[in-house]
Amino acid sequence: MNPQLQTAARLLRDAYSKAPLAPLRDYLEPTDAIGAYAVQEINTRFWESQGRRIVGRKAGLTAEAVQKQLGVDQPDFGVLFEDMRVPDGGTLDPSKCIQAKAEAEIAFVLGGDLLSPLSTPAEVAAAVATVHAAIEIVDSRIADWKITFADTVADNGSSAFFVLAGEGLPLADLDLEGAKMAMTVSGEVASTGVGSAALGNPLNAAAWLARTLAERGEPLKAGDILLAGALGPMVSLKPGVEVRAEISGIGTCSFTFAGA
């Protein structure tokens, strides 16, 4: 393995408990997807060796405007570990984050495997067991969120924690594309959006994720959680706030950003 990539991976791991890093330009070109995913993979295997358990994946950069901002033409993905899950209605200690932001999403829990690198949205739909409102708490180990595509991919998709609505719904008859989202912070509307923000339909984002992971030999399996991408703008978090996401026809979920 390239020693530069090993160094970048170690620096990112260390940043979780130390100070955030400068952008990784000494190790990765801004659009180097291959190198960035290699760094993500190094850390994923390291964390698994430390006992962390993978429970799913997240899709990011599913909005065309954000892709253009970072100079790329595709989404990205990160790994969801069990210890990243915050109970619906629970609390997240701000000391576990560096520069946290929240975004509301639609999530899927799979009831079947998605093994094909040619998976279609219809095949994803057939594999979905339940649909949930979700909040992703994103964070960056890169100082001041000055990220490139390579920075965010290497940094596990700038992931941190996630909240999944405790009650999910079957997919049949749900209007994912037209579902309206409102995210409030301490009762004030802070972000709004719609299901079509995620690559036109959250199932499109999930199908991209299924194809991409199957091509890498890490296909999605029954029981996996999929976060399908933000439906509206990210919102910076301050200690003490309550964050609630409501997605029409699908459900609500919430957490409080405060110490135990």
Name beta bridge partners: 110. 128
Q: How confident is the model at residue 259 (pLDDT cuts 50, 70, 90)?
A: confident
**CATH classification at residue 106:** 3.90.850.10
- Among 200, 165, 183, 162, smallest CA distance to 245 is for 183
- Are 231 and 190 spatial neighbours (Cβ–Cβ below 8 Å)? no
Q: Residue 20 pLDDT more than 80? A: yes
Q: Would you state the pLDDT for residue 65?
A: 65
Structure token pair of residue 84: 């990243």
pLDDT tens column, 66-117: 677 667 778 999 999 999 999 999 999 999 999 999 999 999 999 999 999 9
What is the number of structural domains in the chain? 1
Cα 49 to the center of its chain, rounded Å: 22
Q: How confident is the model at residue 133 (pLDDT cuts 50, 70, 90)?
A: very high
Q: What integer is the mean pLDDT of 34-62?
A: 96
Q: What pTM value is reported for the model?
A: 0.95
Structure token pair of residue 95: 């000391």
Work out whether strand 242-247 and strand 159-164 pair parallel, antiparallel, or are unpaired: unpaired
Neighbour count for residue 177 (Cβ, 10 Å): 15
- Among 194, 178, 138, 185, smallest CA distance to 162 is for 138
- Domain extent at residue 125: 3-257
DSSP state letter for 206: H
Mean pLDDT of the residues in the chain? 94
Q: What integer is the mean pLDDT of 203-213?
A: 96
